[in-house]
Structure 1
Amino acid sequence: MHESKLELEYGINSDELANATINPKYRTIRHWYDVWKENNLGSSNDISVLQKLEEKKKYYEENGIIVRYSENPFAILVITSIMKRAHQLPFAKDIAFVDSTSSCDIQSHSVTFMLAPCGVGAVPLGIFITKGQSTVDYKAAFTLLKQSMPNGFNAQGFPKQFVIDDSEAEKQALQSIWPESKINLCRFHILQSVWRWLWDTNHDVLKDDRKILFRLFHRILVATNLHSAEEAYMTAIGQISTEYNCINNTVIPLKYEKWIKYVNNYWKRKELWCLVFRDASVHGHQTNNFSEVNVRIFKDIVLSRNKAYNAVALVDFICTSLEEYYLRRLRTFVNGRNDTARHIFEDQLKRAVSIKKDSIKKLSENIYRVQSETENTFYEVDVINGFCSCPKGKLGAFCKHQAAIYHHHEMNMPSLPAINTESRYLLAKLAFGEHVREKSFYMPLTAESNIISNNIALKEGADLNDQNNDDPHCSSSISQTITNNYNNDHENNYAHDYAQQIQNLFTKNLEKYNDTVSTSVLKKCLNRLQKVKYVAMWESFLSTAGSKIPLRHRSRATIHVQPTTLARRRSGVTRGSKRLPVGRPKNNDPPKKKRRRNLAENVEKNIPNAKSHGIGH
């Protein structure tokens, strides 16, 4: 590129192309780069790395970055400005995620991330660089964090629980440094390891029995109380004969002694992975997906899938590229350029469409009782702690009952997605610190309640009893209400007529074509109908049913082909009605697609699960 620029500027046969001061040789440039690396990054051995970090310590401190290191065992801690402020997040005292990755530099140092959840996902509390992934290495790294941030984790000094992979070294190190914290294992990695164990040919499990055994273990994991967990455990090892573990009077688990031993070993440490031993302080986080995403961000975006020169280069990448990445992501969210949180809230609000204001009772200052929409059941919601007694909300996740309370009573809750001004301002302070804009800058142009009401219309009409009769606008409001009620009555009549026509057509077509329709098609339709649980799902079913049948004939409509034509097409050709490519065919074969990383789907299909990275995953 440099020579091409000189050719355009001076000519293809100019003297400047032979001038080493203007057009240096590749060997000269390589030498300059080696000298720059030696001066700024040191050599590749650990002693030189620590010496270079000591030289750059003043530079880090001037930029508000904490860099601490230990010589033996080798460990480095990096805490940037955003990471410092992340320790002030409300959830930092409740839960933290820990995961490690290696092969990030030439010396294959291990990089460990410790993260806390927030409104945009998770942000690091600290990043560690160690020689390996042993208990001694982790202890040295975690000790540096405890010494550097004695009032970390929202001034508590430790989180209530860590979520990790099934790494014994990580678990022992965390328990040693923070004995007050509880260790939770990632739900996904537990189930993934069980599925891989069942597929291991050394364990001699028949293919047809693998799904049965996997679901028996899954029932232990998701049990709602200790009695159910114990009963599921006895069923999984064959001590109890039930419909779940028995086929043709044969108890499946009793066929495999290795399986019984495997489940017994897991049951001895059930407190680590069984959900019945967790509470609302996990805030709905049962996996360490945030850690997996953060590792991918670091390797793909920060390092561009290239190994760094040494540990000093890794520290510099963390302090610059990774810090800038999180700053941009936070800025995008607080500036209203990301609607993910609002979509999460609206999804739960759609599920709560049948929960009316009069079905919510206030029991105390922070306790509300919400009536279930499916059965005569009531759930209690603690708006201070973000807890609901429903299966989803009791582990701290945001549920439809909390969404209904926020919608009708505008009560802020810890588990509420970051959709209001307070949440955006908190994340803005996380990103910009003392340079954050005033709070009014992050307020929406339209009132938040109006935005929600416009996006999802849940209220059927105004309650006249709640209106003040002395209001001068009262008469106009009543007139408007009467008009709305009149329009609603007409719309309800139309809806009833349409529903009657749909029902008649369904009955007529079933009677007419029932003998020719395959059982699989009827079963698929039945499964879709059974999945309808609330109004939004029913509307979605009605709006998409029969989507392959054109509603009107148009000159531009696609010309469909016969089903037998699709069956005769060779591999690699489109199965739709698009125009087929013509001309000389390509010589190369179509690229092979990787198996999807969907554990539930792979279990249902009874195939092995795809593996992403690491030995123990």
Structure 2
Amino acid sequence: MLHSLRTYISHYNTQVGSECMALDITSDNKVVMAICTPLMKRVHEEVKHASELVFIDASSNMDRYGCSVFLLLTHSCAGGLPLGVLITSSEAEGVIEAALKLYRSLLPQKCFGGRGVQGPALIMTDDSAAEQNAISHVFPASQTLLCVFHVLQATWRWLWNGKNQIPKEQRPNHLQHLKRLIYACTEEELEELYQESLQDTTLSDKFKEHLTGYYGRKEKWAIACRLDLQVRGNNTNNFCEAAMRVLKDKILERTKAFSIPQLADYMSTFLDEYYQQRLIDVANGRLQNVIASRYMPQEKSIKLHDIRQLSDSQFIVTSQTSQDRGYDVDMELGHCSCHAGKTGAPCKHQAAVVKHFNVSSTNFVPVNDPQSRLLLYKIATGNCSVPSGFFDGLMTQPSVSGDISIMDASFPAEPVIDEMESIPTSQIDPNPAVASLRAQAAAQNHFDLRGSTRSAQTSSSTNDDDQLLEQFQNMHDDLCTKMKQSPDLYRPAIRAMLASYRGIKTDTHLVSALHTFGKYSGAAMTVRKRGLAAKNAAVRHLNLKGSKKIGVQPTSTARRCHMGRGASRLHAGRPPKSLRIQEHGYSRLSSSQSSAVVPLMRRRRAPAPHSLSHVVSLNKALGKTHSAK
């Protein structure tokens, strides 16, 4: 088998044109293998987050020889991106150290975002002494952090260990004391809560000793000790957990690899193809079920007049709770002075700057940034010869002072529509430059009021056009009169119309809107408003403005046997959690209660749940998904 593995490694390195895979045998006859594909090397060199924080996690039982697979990832607006894969036949400290050294020999010169072989600034793992010791030997300049979820998970298992003799009714209270320490806002609060826990008579002496042992290394798990570190809001290694599920579900399809050469082939080809397609989807704007909502700049409460620009990358955003307070935002560093943005995490203030000023940010998906989308495409494919403008929009969006896109310029929360005697565009528009461009377009008899340079189509009769424009002006005057007479009635409707008009991007869209004006009599607002109960599924999924999803045929939804009959495609891959939850909360009942309520159900012992919050609320033991470290 080792001969076949060496042959495959040699063939792969020759095929890609560089050394991306290596194999070694330790002194105690343990197999270690390191993989850093060309895509992973491009992530090393092009993603700056690789210099700040790297996640490492391991999982075993993926092949028939019981080898362990270590994934190294960094975070980005496109989710977790791979930096390397380690395959070992043991999880001993010496074996992991040998694998990391072998992996370090494959790295490019500008690896880890330019930091080189000294490694990233921070590395996050679970509470495994073997992993942390091996990392400190290979990357001594890197600081190791613990995933807070695994700290809580390990403590809950400790509390349920019979030899520790913690009363069952006291276990949730014991865990709550450690949770308070983890999520303390400041180090002073952390110290105060720790002293309170030591003086609490309800806590057992054995748990206080356990808590003291954790507190001695608080800099590894306490969030209050990370406020000056570039963790960017990542306090758990959820990226690795999600990547492991992708690896087991989508790459291996829940089937163990036959041998190590086959496992290496999956890690170097199919895993690469998955992340390549993921990056291409983000670059092309296909974000459904791919990107977490916090990476989408959807802030709506902060308006343009709440932001003051100091330089090309520095802004001051007024607080929404106190007008006397402002937050400093540095888009180049991706930082904000608010609590959420102190560590570089995406926050609503940065999202507002991205939305109103069209500024590029690595903390958000590049929706309106062609250069960032092009970078994601180059990382995915390695193709550097993409023609200029490949990811530009259909219409060129001119910019005004402050890099504000005319297409995305927002109106103030209280527009000056109340005074409608003679309202020029400059009074309604918050930006004089935008109003000037619109006035120029109107003076040139252009029908596109957003500054478009498209000329009006020439008709056969000029008189008919003049008459049409006169009727249009009469309608405008009539609306202004009604607004003055009943401002409370017409103000919300006019604001909604302006909001819909700002969302129009093309002439075809505008013409379609004009054709359908007045034909829905308020139904559009009812359908589009989120959270409004709909009478049936057809009305609930109706979207008069169109959708990014391609609908399915009604006949195909009628043939479905499951409960959901919506107009979206069927779920592919692992079934969602909702399908595994029994109706009416029977899963929360005891076995005797459940059999009494549902006598016809098949009686079998349900497996222990894996959700930590769920088992803590029920005061039950946590199911074992893997051996505790």
TM-score, length basis structure 1: 0.68
Alignment of 1:141-540 (within 5 A): 141-149=99-107, 151=109, 152-157=111-116, 158-238=119-199, 251=200, 253-278=201-226, 279=228, 281-339=230-288, 344=293, 349-350=298-299, 353-363=300-310, 366-376=313-323, 377-419=325-367, 420-434=369-383, 437-445=386-394, 453=408, 462-463=429-430, 465-466=432-433, 471-473=439-441, 493-494=488-489
Amino acid aligned to 1:313: Q
Secondary structure of 2:360's counterpart equals coil
Aligned partners of 1:574 and 1:173: how far apart in 2?
Answer: 49
The equivalent residue for 1:589 is 602
Q: Does 1:77 align with 2:34?
A: yes
Secondary structure of 2:235's counterpart equals coil
Q: Give the Å deviation of 1:145.
A: 1.7
Q: Give the Å deviation of 1:368.
A: 2.1
Amino acid aligned to 1:136: G
Q: Residues 280 and 118 of structure 1: is their aligned pair in 2 closer, same or farther, counting only changes over 3 Å?
A: same
Q: Residues 491 and 437 of structure 1: is their aligned pair in 2 closer, same or farther, counting only changes over 3 Å?
A: farther
Relative to structure 2, which stretch is displaced further, 80-89 or 274-283?
Answer: 274-283
Secondary structure of 2:34's counterpart equals strand
The equivalent residue for 1:10 is none
The equivalent residue for 2:620 is 608
Aligned partners of 1:128 and 1:231: how far apart in 2?
Answer: 42
Secondary structure of 2:308's counterpart equals strand
Aligned partners of 1:455 and 1:108: how far apart in 2?
Answer: 57
Aligned partners of 2:491 and 2:289: how far apart in 1?
Answer: 36
Contact 2:358-2:405 within 8 A present in 1 as well: no
* Unmatched segments (≥5 aa) in structure 1: 1-41, 43-48, 239-250, 499-538, 550-571, 576-584
Q: Give the Å deviation of 1:191.
A: 1.9
Q: Residues 489 and 382 of structure 1: is their aligned pair in 2 closer, same or farther, counting only changes over 3 Å?
A: farther
How far does the alpha carbon of each residue in 1:137-162 deviate from its partner, in whole angstroms, 9 at most, with x for none? 11101101212215211221211111
Amino acid aligned to 2:307: I
Aligned partners of 2:8 and 2:181: how far apart in 1?
Answer: 54
Amino acid aligned to 1:396: G
The equivalent residue for 1:67 is 21
RMSD: 4.2
Q: Give the Å deviation of 1:77.
A: 0.9
How far does the alpha carbon of each residue in 1:231-254 deviate from its partner, in whole angstroms, 9 at most, with x for none? 12222222xxxxxxxxxxxx4x55
Q: Give the Å deviation of 1:274.
A: 0.8
How far does the alpha carbon of each residue in 1:518-546 deviate from its partner, in whole angstroms, 9 at most, with x for none? xxxxxxxxxxxxxxxxxxxxx99x97588
Contact 1:368-1:382 within 8 A present in 2 as well: yes
Amino acid aligned to 1:299: K
Q: Give the Å deviation of 1:495.
A: 8.6
Q: Give the Å deviation of 1:113.
A: 0.9
Contact 1:308-1:314 within 8 A present in 2 as well: yes
Aligned partners of 2:275 and 2:407: how far apart in 1?
Answer: 28
How far does the alpha carbon of each residue in 1:337-387 deviate from its partner, in whole angstroms, 9 at most, with x for none? 32457872696534xx33222222334553322222123533221211111
Q: Residues 368 and 335 of structure 1: is their aligned pair in 2 closer, same or farther, counting only changes over 3 Å?
A: closer
Amino acid aligned to 2:25: E
Aligned partners of 2:247 and 2:137: how far apart in 1?
Answer: 28
How far does the alpha carbon of each residue in 1:281-323 deviate from its partner, in whole angstroms, 9 at most, with x for none? 2222211112112222222222222222322221122222222
Aligned partners of 2:414 and 2:249: how far apart in 1?
Answer: 46
Q: Residues 573 and 175 of structure 1: is their aligned pair in 2 closer, same or farther, counting only changes over 3 Å?
A: closer
Relative to structure 2, which stretch is displaced further, 447-456 or 213-222?
Answer: 447-456
Aligned partners of 1:491 and 1:170: how far apart in 2?
Answer: 70
Aligned partners of 1:187 and 1:143: how far apart in 2?
Answer: 27
Identity among equivalent pairs (%): 27
Q: Give the Å deviation of 1:261.
A: 0.8
Among candidates 59, 81, 84, match of residue 101 of structure 1: 59
Amino acid aligned to 2:191: E
Q: Give the Å deviation of 1:615.
A: 1.2
Q: Give the Å deviation of 1:185.
A: 0.8
Aligned partners of 1:397 and 1:229: how far apart in 2?
Answer: 22
Secondary structure of 1:217's counterpart equals helix
Contact 1:75-1:129 within 8 A present in 2 as well: yes
Aligned partners of 1:613 and 1:456: how far apart in 2?
Answer: 52
The equivalent residue for 1:5 is none
Secondary structure of 2:75's counterpart equals strand
Secondary structure of 1:333's counterpart equals helix
Aligned partners of 2:181 and 2:143: how far apart in 1?
Answer: 20
Aligned partners of 2:237 and 2:198: how far apart in 1?
Answer: 28
TM-score, length basis structure 2: 0.67
Aligned partners of 1:162 and 1:369: how far apart in 2?
Answer: 32
Amino acid aligned to 1:288: N
Secondary structure of 1:283's counterpart equals coil
Q: Give the Å deviation of 1:218.
A: 1.9
Q: Give the Å deviation of 1:485.
A: 7.8
Aligned partners of 1:573 and 1:281: how far apart in 2?
Answer: 43
Secondary structure of 1:282's counterpart equals coil
Aligned partners of 1:614 and 1:424: how far apart in 2?
Answer: 38
How far does the alpha carbon of each residue in 1:366-418 deviate from its partner, in whole angstroms, 9 at most, with x for none? 33222221235332212111111222111221111111112222222231234
Aligned partners of 2:106 and 2:334: how far apart in 1?
Answer: 31
How far does the alpha carbon of each residue in 1:399-444 deviate from its partner, in whole angstroms, 9 at most, with x for none? 1111111222222223123423223212111111036633522223
Contact 1:207-1:606 within 8 A present in 2 as well: no
How far does the alpha carbon of each residue in 1:198-245 deviate from its partner, in whole angstroms, 9 at most, with x for none? 34444344445433333332222122222122112222222xxxxxxx
Relative to structure 2, which stretch is displaced further, 204-213 or 427-436?
Answer: 204-213
Contact 2:21-2:34 within 8 A present in 1 as well: yes
Q: Residues 231 and 606 of structure 1: is their aligned pair in 2 closer, same or farther, counting only changes over 3 Å?
A: farther
Aligned partners of 2:476 and 2:605: how far apart in 1?
Answer: 61
Q: Residues 85 and 587 of structure 1: is their aligned pair in 2 closer, same or farther, counting only changes over 3 Å?
A: same
Q: Residues 453 and 463 of structure 1: is their aligned pair in 2 closer, same or farther, counting only changes over 3 Å?
A: closer
Contact 1:346-1:456 within 8 A present in 2 as well: no
- Higher-helix-fraction structure: 1
